[in-house]
Chains A and B, each alone.
Chain A
Amino acid sequence: MTIEVKNLVKKFGSFAALDGVDLKVDNGELLALLGPSGSGKTTLLRIIAGLDWPDSGEVAFNGEDALAQGARERHVGFVFQHYALFRHMTVFENVAFGLRVQPRAIRKDEATIRARVKELLDLVQLDWLSDRYPSQLSGGQRQRIALARALAIEPRILLLDEPFGALDAKVRKELRRWLRSLHHEINVTSIFVTHDQEEALEVANRVVVMDKGRIEQIGSPDDVYETPATAFVHSFIGESIELPVHVESGVIRLGDRALRLAADGLAPGASRLFVRRHDMLVGPPGSGAFEGAVQHVRNFGPVQRAEVALSGGETIEIDAPRDRELRAGDRVGLEPRRYRIFAGA
């Protein structure tokens, strides 16, 4: 199932939750919608599911208008952040729900329903919990049951809203890997919403980065990390050093210091320079584009994180390998191995 979203606009009062969103999702993709809270990612997901309606724009499944249908007709599996399991039903009945409410004409007989539920519980590896109530399960188990319940109706699309948001870090990591392999197994077009970049980069085939109701970048996890399209993407994904610079007649200035960095093709004016923390190479004083004094050093396993006060006055944090120990008070030269400059203050 392909999904096509065109020029979607949704306002809540004067707040534009979606401000002209276009998106194409290919069949069998596992897509992440990544963005800070309030970026419109959940609204987009809910509109695709039929739980919310846009003010204008189009949503099509396989080229067919989806907005003409309600949530019930769309045949979309939806997994909620807080599971939304039916408290008064056993795990078994929760998973069977979608099969039991089918119109009589196409409803399966009891034996088929039982077999199907059993199969789904096996798929999420929780068949031994079928007689329990949701309140007796852990968060991770509940979310797997919620997923099994959504899969029961053989959805054309699977949508997950911050599926691991309410879980603790360890369980979250486990479930990420599990979701990936599950998607590989069932191969249904899936979109999940997250504000956790690590989750998006690890699980998804493609990542859609959103901010303020707009899509900032769509690309593979490598693309959005290695070649961010906008300043927002660069600062949102991965740890970045951000410096306000000024571009003028082929020279990049930080404060009143000209940096020895190539300025080819850059628009003149106030700009922002981004460098990944680990792309800042440390050398002797005078060896790089920047110079500064080390203030603090902390060790994080294979790297040392140093706070460096640049001679221009800004303080930045860099990650350096442990091969050369840095000490507070050291004067160092810093050379960005890679950097990007975006116009605008």
Chain B
Amino acid sequence: MSAIAARRRTLPGFGLTMGLTLSWLSVIILIPLAGLFLKSFELSPEQFWNILSSRRTLNALRVSFGLAFAAACVNLVMGSIIVWALVRYRFPGRRLFDAIVDVPFALPTAVAGVALTALFAEKGWLGAPLAALGIKVAFTPLGIFVAMIFIGIPFVVRTVQPVLQDLDPEIEEAAGSLGASRWQTIIRVILPSLGPALLTGLALAFARAVGEYGSVIFIAGNLPNVSEIAPLLIVIRLSEFRYADATAIAVVMLVVSFVIIFAVNRLQRWAQSRIPAR
């Protein structure tokens, strides 16, 4: 940008706000993350590899990422249905339900963990009937899955809701009068219009679930190789004063999360580009 253009900017304060943005992001995000990387450089590549390829680490990563993705997918489907009901229909208690969606946001995760564990424990309200069916939730990977669904649902609902609210009901009427069935309207008109928002919701719910610690450790049972999540393994290594081990796992989680978020972001941008702004 030329000096003249800079001087002629209508909105003042570019220098100030940009400077603050950069310093703040550096202090809050970039420097701690860089520190993490530096710490992991204390390990030789061989040690690094050994830590990562250990069975326990791999299993913890698999549990974290695999279950987080599965939970995000469930949240995507159920969240979309909830959004649909909240936006499109007027029913008694709608505002209450709308508020309830935010509970997982606000609730301390430990409280959520304890509540879920009590509910799904073998003698709990839901745990007992499920146990009778031979399904054990608490202290198994299934429990982790449930906790991840719990904490992820508001992310999908809150990202998709405003977009669906903006979607003109007339376009559904248009599709109907052009001969589209209800299904065709949903598949060909509504879902593509919501596409970018759905992807964002999926990514946020996934990221949240991968990083979730508080609610999961109560219900997981934390059995190494079975129901031990990667963040917990990091904590365990730290408590054993094996800081390098902890950072190695942390770095892998960071990189994988970043790659996934980046990919979803690109996908979302691509989807957005097909719907240019109005």
**Chain A contact residues, CB within 8 Å of chain B:** 49-51, 70-72, 74-78, 80, 82, 84-89, 97-98, 100-102, 133, 135-136, 146, 149-150, 152-153
Contacts and interface: CB of A to CB of B under 8 A. Distances in A.
Residue among A51, A74, A153 with the highest chain B CB neighbour number at 10 A = A51
A89 B275 CA distance: 8
Contact of A78 (B174, B180, B184, B193): B174
Nearest to A149: B178
Name the interface size band of chain B. Answer: 20 to 34
B171 A84 contact: yes
A71 B278 contact: no
A71 B276 contact: no
B179 A153 contact: yes
B28 to A, nearest CB: 36
A101 B275 contact: no
Contact of B173 (A84, A100, A149, A152): A84
Given A82-B170, A97-B188, A88 B177 contact: no
B214 interface: no
Most chain A C-beta atoms within 10 Å of own C-beta, residue among B171, B174, B175: B174
A101 B184 CA distance: 7
Contact of A51 (B171, B177, B192): B177
A76 B275 contact: no
8 contacts: A76-B177, A85-B174, A87-B275, A98-B180, A101-B184, A133-B276, A135-B277, A150-B178
A72 to B, nearest CB: 5
B176 interface: yes
B277 A84 contact: no
Given A84-B174, A86-B171, A88-B195, A101 B276 contact: no
Nearest to A70: B176
Interface in B185-239: 188-189, 192-193, 195
Contacts of B240: none
Interface in B218-275: 274-275
A202 to B, nearest CB: 26
Interface in B43-93: none
Nearest to A133: B276
A51 B173 contact: yes
Given A72-B179, A86-B174, A133-B275, 11 more contacts: A78-B173, A80-B174, A82-B168, A82-B170, A84-B168, A84-B173, A88-B193, A89-B192, A97-B180, A101-B178, A101-B184
A146 B181 CA distance: 19
Tell me which of B178, B179, B180, B276 has the highest count of chain A C-beta atoms within 10 A of its own C-beta. Answer: B178
Contacts of A98: 178-180
Given A87-B278, A88-B195, A135-B276, A80 B180 contact: no
A51 B174 CA distance: 9
A78 B189 CA distance: 17
Contacts of B176: 51, 70-72
Contacts of B177: 49-51, 71-72, 74, 76-78, 150
A76 B173 CA distance: 12
A71 B189 CA distance: 17
Contact of B188 (A49, A71, A84, A101): A101
Interface in B158-176: 168, 170-171, 173-176
A84 B170 contact: yes
B173 A101 contact: no
A133 B275 CA distance: 8
Contacts of B193: 86-88
Contacts of A89: 192
Nearest to A77: B177
Given A72-B180, A97-B180, A88 B278 contact: no
Contact of A101 (B168, B171, B180): B180
A152 B174 CA distance: 13
B55 to A, nearest CB: 46
A97 B278 CA distance: 20
Contacts of B276: 87, 133, 135-136
Contacts of A78: 173-174, 177
A146 B249 CA distance: 56
Nearest to A90: B274
Contacts of B277: 135
A28 B277 CA distance: 39
A120 to B, nearest CB: 13
A77 B64 CA distance: 52
Nearest to B191: A88
B278 A135 contact: yes
A222 B173 CA distance: 35
